[in-house]
Amino acid sequence: MIAGKQVFFRAFEPNDYVLLNEWHNCPEIQKLTSGTFRYVSSEREKEWVLSKIKNDSENIYWAICMNDESKKMIGYTSINQIDLIHRKAFHGGVVIGDKNYRDGQIMIDTFLDTFSYAFDELNLNRLEAKCLVEHQTSYKMLKIMGYSLEGIKRQAIYKHGKYHDQYLFSILKSEYSSMLTSNEFAIDSILKRLKQENKKK
């Protein structure tokens, strides 16, 4: 796994349910996710975390933690719907629950570690991702990190009293490897692509 300078991944631990419950019950954090918002009890959250710890063959969840003395958990991410026949999976959303750590470098580190695990450890060929059309931060992050926009799923998500369109993205192992070899994941290259995306929108 590519070592992020600011964060590292670890598996969920049982007591993580406390923070996860706080984030899952926060409307501000959940407003632009593709999932349906619902308030979750601490007991149900505890059961959910234990299920993710024990069943990781098709869905792998990680705590995102600061790579410093605190080792504090600031968010979570996942690889879902792992299909080892067709060598593909879904890149789950990146949730940075702690608002003090929502910066670009942390997101970049998280994407790179996810790519490395998906392509170098699981030997997947294709990673898919989705985001709501109005979630421009996610759209730009997916684009600058090498994802290709494949299309729009029309009115795919019902949330906040209306239907939302959803972007569908993918990145292939060959594309990831090419970008890695050509140093396109260097911060200067990423910032250059971000500047280009900002001009478009």
What are the tens digits of pLDDT across the range 139-152? Answer: 999 999 999 999 99
- Residue 10: name the closest of 82, 55, 74 by CA: 74
Strand, helix or coil at 79? strand
Q: What is the mean pLDDT of residues 153-172?
A: 94
Separation of alpha carbons 51 and 61, rounded Å: 10
Does 21 score more than 70 pLDDT?
yes
* Residue scoring higher pLDDT (93 or 8): 8
pLDDT at 1: 40
- Percent of the chain at pLDDT above 70? 97
Q: Taking the C-alpha atoms of 20, 155, 92 and 87 in order, what is their torsion angle to the nearest 10 degrees?
A: 150
Does 131 score more than 50 pLDDT?
yes
Q: What is the mean pLDDT of residues 179-198?
A: 92
Q: What is the pLDDT of residues 45-60, one digit of tens each?
A: 999 999 999 988 999 9
Separation of alpha carbons 110 and 159, rounded Å: 27
pLDDT at 103: 78
pLDDT band per the 50, 70, 90 thresholds, residue 198: confident
Give residue limits of the domains in the chain: 7-200
Which tokens hold the place of 19? Answer: 């923070």
DSSP for residue 12:
-
Q: Which residues lie closer than 8 Å to 119 by C-beta, 6 or more apart?
A: 127, 173, 176, 177
pLDDT at 201: 57
Q: Taking the C-alpha atoms of 94, 71, 177 and 129 in order, what is their torsion angle to the nearest 10 degrees?
A: -10
pTM of the model: 0.91
- 7-200: CATH topology is Aminopeptidase (3.40.630)
